[in-house]
Structure 1
Amino acid sequence: MIFTIESADQDKYPELFDEMFRMRAEVFSGRLGWDVKVENGREIDRFDAEDPLYLLSLDERSGQLRGAVRLLPTTGPNMLRDVFSVLMPGGTVESPLIWESSRFAVNPQIFEARDRAEVNHMVNGITVELLCGMVEAAQRAGIEHIVSVFDARMARIFRSIDCRFELLGTPVRDREGHDLCWTIRYEC
């Protein structure tokens, strides 16, 4: 189940946001080894203060957080322009009809005591659910495209679930040695 929360409503769901920020720390700092700021076990960056729209995948029975993604309009501060400008051939993307997705993550804690085949199926299911949620949220808001920076691992996942995307630039290796793609532009 996708739960959509505007940042202005974040105070209504403190436990859910705490769980999401902890998950992001575990995924981006712990698992992927990215150079992100983690304080008190939570990964929160400056773009979380820019009134994003959050999509959270929740287990329908338990309410457990399965994954999350953040959406920001490209007309204000965003990671593509302000952090990954090297990946933007020919300048910035800025339009009220184009939003950025970032901090796309699947909760690794849901995989405990499961075999690899089951985990791969779950990752694909949660990924598809979040992608469909992004497209649905975009359509409701009149957004025409969603753009994202993903590493090569996510591009492989998208291909495995037959998610079509347009590569907008040449992949570049970041300081930590990850292959980044100025990647995905979804038609919404």
Structure 2
Amino acid sequence: MIYEFSYDERHQFLSVYEKMLISRKNFFENYPEWGQAFQPCPVEDEYDRRCSPFYIVGLQDSSDAVASVRIMPTTGPTMLREEFSPYFPYCPDIISPDIWELSYLSTTADTTSLAGRNLMLDVLKTVYARAFANGIKQVVGTYPRSKLRLYRRLECLPFPLCEGDINGQEFCVGVWDISPLTLRHLTELQLRPF
């Protein structure tokens, strides 16, 4: 099941929000490059509290698996501008009413399984559909280079803008185009045999 809500609305979805935070914590423990790059690596940060971002959270019915993402407009404070820019000196300052920042893309689902992959794809499809409905043309995100294997598995690779080193870990900034074609691609992926 997919849930969509802002930080200001989290009290109406408190159990889902708490599961998302637990999922973030577990994800960081499973992908130590985040923890090595950022100490401490909070599960709820100032962008949650200060910017009232929007969350898309998927819960798998038959297990405790969670997939989630946080999206914020690039016209306000963003992690790329305020946290990551020193590590990416050649990255443009992305400020646009038709570009969103995607952060905290995380899952505790097994994406090598059909159910886990589909849960993550449901979250990404919802991001794309909501973005498209709001006139958003691109989504930008920062991610460890090692996370590319997850994007390859989901067949949802970002277009790389730049790379940098954060405390000995390789990180990238990439963009995903939002269009009916990319939304259809995610839908077709779920229809393919696993």
* Interval containing the TM-score (normalised by the shorter chain): 0.7 to 0.9
State the match for 2:164 in structure 1: 172
Cα distance between partner residues in 2 of 1:134 and 1:180: 22
Trace 1:43-54 onto structure 2 (pairs within 5 A).
43-49=43-49, 50-54=51-55
User: How far does the alpha carbon of each residue in 1:95-115 deviate from its partner, in whole angstroms, 9 at most, with x for none?
Assistant: 1111000001002xx55xxxx
Name the SS for the 2:159 alignment partner.
coil
What is the Cα-based RMSD across aligned positions, in Å? 2.2
Residue 90 of structure 1 and its aligned partner are, at CA, apart by 4.8
After TM superposition, the structure 1 stretch with the greater mean CA deviation from structure 2, 132-141 or 150-159, is 150-159
After TM superposition, the structure 1 stretch with the greater mean CA deviation from structure 2, 69-78 or 14-23, is 14-23
Cα distance between partner residues in 2 of 1:12 and 1:45: 20
Cα distance between partner residues in 2 of 1:88 and 1:182: 11
For 1:32, the aligned partner's letter is: Y
State the match for 1:32 in structure 2: 31
For 2:160, the aligned partner's letter is: L
State the match for 1:8 in structure 2: 8
User: How far does the alpha carbon of each residue in 1:9-62 deviate from its partner, in whole angstroms, 9 at most, with x for none?
Assistant: 11112222112112212212x222313546xxx711111021101000122x35
Residue of structure 2 aligned with 1:157, choices 132, 150, 154: 150
**Does the CA-based 8 Å contact 1:172-1:180 persist in structure 2?**
yes
Trace 1:1-188 onto structure 2 (pairs within 5 A).
1-28=1-28, 30-33=29-32, 34=35, 35-37=38-40, 43-49=43-49, 50-59=51-60, 61=61, 64-85=64-85, 86-87=87-88, 89-107=90-108, 110=109, 120-121=112-113, 122-169=115-162, 171-175=163-167, 177-188=168-179
Residues 1:66 and 1:80: Cα distance change in structure 2 (over 3 Å): same
Give ranges in structure 1 of 5+ residues lacking alignment: 112-118
User: How far does the alpha carbon of each residue in 1:56-107 deviate from its partner, in whole angstroms, 9 at most, with x for none?
Assistant: 0122x35845211000001111111111113262531001111000001002
Residues 1:94 and 1:57: Cα distance change in structure 2 (over 3 Å): same
Length-normalised TM-score, structure 1: 0.80
Aligned length: 172
Residues 1:36 and 1:71: Cα distance change in structure 2 (over 3 Å): farther
Identity of aligned residues (%): 23
Residues 1:88 and 1:159: Cα distance change in structure 2 (over 3 Å): farther
